[in-house]
């Protein structure tokens, strides 16, 4: 099983430079822990400060290793030519393989702010993904569908194929991920029983479409404590306050041994990758937990 990290891009800071510095320090800590992948998210017109995926990942890659890296793109919100150009540029900066995490997006306000129609999410998603793949393959693309393009091409393209992981939770969306993606990214809020059901469904749909996935990934919001007691003391109040509305069983909190056991259980369900995101935003606590994620990775190996 591979163990990666997704850095939280939303910050509550008075000085925006402080939040950026925290993300840089966390990327460096993930490299020191020899984690297997590094990701950032994608949201727009947010109520609080949010570090946008392309520029922040470009900076974080200076701290990263040759392990895979990538970011989420909410495809219906992006012009596909611009998206392909951003991926080509990031893949040129990255020393390792680039992974594009693709999502539908939600929140009507976000779509309105970006000039996109939330009602067209599924069709815009599929059309955009097809265009982006053709552009990254070196084709000249014209389109008159959801996106109107005339003889578009991208000259700066990745040196190796970009892997596409599609985030999905509804059964119909999981089928779309099996049909169109190289991998699937399960939602972080799934309790264990539902995580297992969805993994089985995804693998069954891959078989039905005659495809073998490169990754069966799930994000887990975590805290790895120096001890079980320290983990409970740090993360317990956050969980008790209703962290993100998640089922507490979806969260992974404990010492190295306990966290490794939870991740092994995900592996037994069929997951190949766990992408960890920290439940706490305390910088010292996150850096300590990140180092211990390296110990979890060793335990899994």
- Give the pLDDT confidence score for residue 11 in this predicted structure: 85
Q: Over 90: is that where the pLDDT of 12 sits?
A: no
Q: How confident is the model at residue 13 (pLDDT cuts 50, 70, 90)?
A: confident
- Give the pLDDT confidence score for residue 99 in this predicted structure: 98
| 198/191 Cα distance (integer angstroms) | 11
> 2-217 in CATH: which number?
3.20.20.30
| 103/122 Cα distance (integer angstroms) | 10
Please give the share of the chain, as a percent, with pLDDT higher than 70. Answer: 100
The DSSP H or E segment spanning 4 is strand 2-7
| DSSP output for 134-185 | HHHTT--EEEESSSEEEEE--SS--SSPPEEEEE--SHHHHHHHHHH-SEEE
Report strand pairing: 183-186 vs 163-167.
Answer: parallel
Q: Which two tokens stand for residue 132?
A: 């982006």
Q: Which tens digits make up the pLDDT trace of 35-46?
A: 999 999 999 999
Q: Which tens digits make up the pLDDT trace of 117-149?
A: 999 999 999 999 999 999 999 999 999 999 999
CB 19 within 8 A of CB 13: yes
Q: Where are the alpha helices (DSSP H) in the chain?
A: 16-32, 53-60, 80-93, 108-113, 121-136, 171-180, 192-208, 228-240, 256-269, 283-300
Q: Which tens digits make up the pLDDT trace of 25-36?
A: 999 999 999 999
Q: SS3 of 5, please?
A: strand
Strand partners, 39: 6, 70
Q: Over 90: is that where the pLDDT of 64 sits?
A: yes
| 234/225 Cα distance (integer angstroms) | 8
CB 60 within 8 A of CB 29: no
Q: Which two tokens stand for residue 100?
A: 């594009």
Q: Over 90: is that where the pLDDT of 295 sits?
A: yes
Average pLDDT, the chain: 97
Over range 189-202, report the average pLDDT: 98
Q: Which tens digits make up the pLDDT trace of 227-240?
A: 999 999 999 999 99
């Amino acid at each position: 099983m591979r163990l990666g990290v997704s850095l939280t891009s939303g910050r509550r800071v008075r000085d925006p430079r402080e939040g950026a510095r925290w993300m840089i320090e966390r990327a460096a800590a993930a490299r020191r822990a020899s984690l297997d992948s590094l990701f950032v998210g994608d949201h727009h017109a947010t109520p609080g400060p949010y570090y946008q995926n392309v520029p922040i990942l470009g900076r974080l890659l200076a701290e990263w290793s040759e392990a895979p890296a990538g970011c989420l793109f909410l495809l219906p919100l992006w012009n596909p030519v611009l998206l392909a150009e951003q991926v080509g540029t990031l893949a040129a900066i990255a020393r390792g393989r680039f992974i594009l995490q693709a999502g539908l997006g939600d929140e009507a306000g976000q779509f309105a702010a970006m000039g996109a129609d939330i009602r067209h999410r599924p069709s815009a998603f599929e059309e955009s993904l097809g265009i982006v793949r053709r552009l990254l393959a070196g084709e000249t693309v014209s389109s008159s569908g959801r996106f109107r393009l005339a003889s578009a091409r991208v000259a700066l393209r990745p040196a190796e194929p970009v892997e596409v992981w599609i985030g999905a939770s509804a059964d119909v969306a999981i089928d779309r991920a099996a049909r169109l993606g190289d991998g699937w990214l399960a939602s972080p809020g799934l309790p264990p029983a539902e995580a297992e059901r969805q993994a089985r469904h995804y693998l069954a749909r891959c078989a039905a479409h005659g495809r073998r996935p490169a990754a069966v990934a799930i994000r887990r919001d975590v805290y790895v404590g120096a001890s079980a007691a320290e983990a409970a003391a740090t993360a317990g109040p956050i969980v008790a306050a209703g962290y993100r509305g998640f089922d507490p069983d979806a969260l992974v909190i404990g010492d190295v041994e306990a966290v490794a056991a939870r991740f092994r259980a995900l592996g037994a369900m069929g997951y190949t990758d766990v992408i960890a995101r920290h439940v706490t935003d305390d910088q010292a606590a996150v850096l300590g937990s990140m180092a211990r994620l390296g110990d979890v990775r060793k335990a899994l190996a």
